[in-house]
A and B are shown apart, each in its own frame.
Chain A
């Protein structure tokens, strides 16, 4: 069984986590002027090739969200990321 070494709750089996994919920043703008092709690119397209991805994982038993950096070729978690690092402000 695959285990995650989580800095908050310790070593947990991966089966306790749900996967929510790449962390991405929506192309929102204060005046709402986002071109349709920018939207469609954000909504559908993904970084599909192997590499290091920042991804959302949700720990079901404790209801906590995590962001991990993972090598998607070797399936190795490189580090847990402080949420502050991926935080962004939505335009007012």
Chain B
């Protein structure tokens, strides 16, 4: 053992550097208030400070940093979407992710795995070909692969699913990755804090005040704040915030559940998704199998987890990986997903001047954390929609101009 470490260990009073300071009183005015201290809120604060020099910013979080969907997600990062708008946007995010650890000087455990979306039917395979072509057109590494390659790359999988629904092929996306969700939120938060942003945990926004159609401030459970710009980045709580302003949106909240198994030796270094069976799995760096499905069947504003979920998941998962019948589920949980009809987000300016929305992230928004922070910060700083998020504008529903992403987003988060 190095001598210095031993000496340090024997000392009393170890000075652990804190990521964030103790909370302090709220100021009466900020230039920008961000509601929601998840990954998106922290990333937006970070880029506002770093790229636009806007530092009189408060992030208000009703609970703790990353305690919403960010800390509950299964961290799949990929860009193999279906629409050109989606592909360009998520590709920009993957590129930011790849440099994030350097940017933060913090290990975010970014691990490129390769991502298989299995097709069990002709029509699923057709969608995979479509996605592969759109992806390749935009320079993204995706291709349709046959059973032989899948068998090589994903050992122990029963490609015939016990005869129920044999795998016919898959969309393979080499850049598919996983990362450590807390580290992403914390890295952004620390970077924002170091540049002067205030982060207030246990601070809930209870109302948004407007005058003549524009934002003038927010009320919180710790008192009122004046501000001209408010950004809502609250995922599953979005309808509660938009209701404060009487803004109508297509967002509905459905619980999304996930679970992890007991840890086992590493045997799977890829991410496997089956759209037809509605399940997906990857193995974490601790050896646990991280597993999930699609959203619960009905609207619910709750993070309760259910037996129905694990039972339904196990039923399908055992078709793919029969040996899992001997494994135990360690933990299960749920988050509240803000789902839109076209499975694309709603971003940018709204009819209320000074109120910006970053929502509709449903089951797929973790991978967008860097790029939504960056494009939302740009949009707020310039009061003008960033070109990458123009297709995701609030008014697209009134324009009947949707971004149909369901074929690439509903199960493979």
Alpha-carbon gap, A44 to B341, bound state (A)? 7
* B67-105 CB contacts (< 8 Å) to partner A: none
Question: Is B249 in contact with A21, judged by CB distance below 8 angstroms?
Answer: no
Number of interface residues of B (CB under 8 A): 26
Chain A residues in 8 Å Cβ range of B252: 21, 46, 48
For B298, B307, B399, the residue with the greatest tally of chain A CB atoms inside 10 Å of its CB is B298
Whether B352 is near chain A, meaning CB under 8 Å from some CB there, is no
User: Which of B58-66, B171-179, B237-245, B403-411 lies at the interface with chain A?
Assistant: B237-245
User: CB-defined interface of B231-255 with A at 8 Å, one 1/0 digit per residue?
Assistant: 0000000111011000011111100
Interface residues on A, range: 20 to 34
Whether B121 is near chain A, meaning CB under 8 Å from some CB there, is no
Alpha-carbon gap, A48 to B300, bound state (A)? 10
Given A1-B307, A15-B308, also A73-B398 (CB < 8 A): no
**Which residue of chain A has the shortest Cβ distance to B297 in the bound complex?**
A19
Question: Is B302 in contact with A48, judged by CB distance below 8 angstroms?
Answer: no
Question: Is A48 in contact with B251, judged by CB distance below 8 angstroms?
Answer: yes
* A15-56 CB contacts (< 8 Å) to partner B: 15, 18-19, 21, 36-37, 40-41, 43-46, 48-50, 53, 55
Chain B residues in 8 Å Cβ range of A18: 297
Chain B residues in 8 Å Cβ range of A75: 300, 302, 304
Chain A residues in 8 Å Cβ range of B321: none
Q: How far is the CB of A53 from chain B (nearest CB, A)?
A: 7
Question: Is A73 in contact with B301, judged by CB distance below 8 angstroms?
Answer: yes
Alpha-carbon gap, A41 to B394, bound state (A)? 12
Q: How far is the CB of B341 from chain A (nearest CB, A)?
A: 6
Question: Is B398 in contact with A49, judged by CB distance below 8 angstroms?
Answer: no
Cβ-neighbour of A49 out of B243, B250, B306 (below 8 A): B243
Alpha-carbon gap, A83 to B17, bound state (A)? 63
Question: Is A48 in contact with B253, judged by CB distance below 8 angstroms?
Answer: yes
Chain B residues in 8 Å Cβ range of A74: 302
User: CB-defined interface of A44-84 with B at 8 Å, one 1/0 digit per residue?
Assistant: 11101110010100000000000000001111000000000
Question: Is B398 in contact with A48, judged by CB distance below 8 angstroms?
Answer: no
Given A40-B398, A40-B400, also A50-B251 (CB < 8 A): no
Cβ-neighbour of B308 out of A1, A37, A49 (below 8 A): A1
Chain B residues in 8 Å Cβ range of A50: 239-240, 301
Given A2-B308, A15-B308, also A45-B301 (CB < 8 A): no
Give me 9 A-to-B residue pairs in the complex whose CB atoms sit less than 8 angstroms apart, sorted by A's number: A1-B308, A41-B248, A45-B248, A46-B251, A46-B252, A48-B252, A53-B299, A72-B253, A72-B299
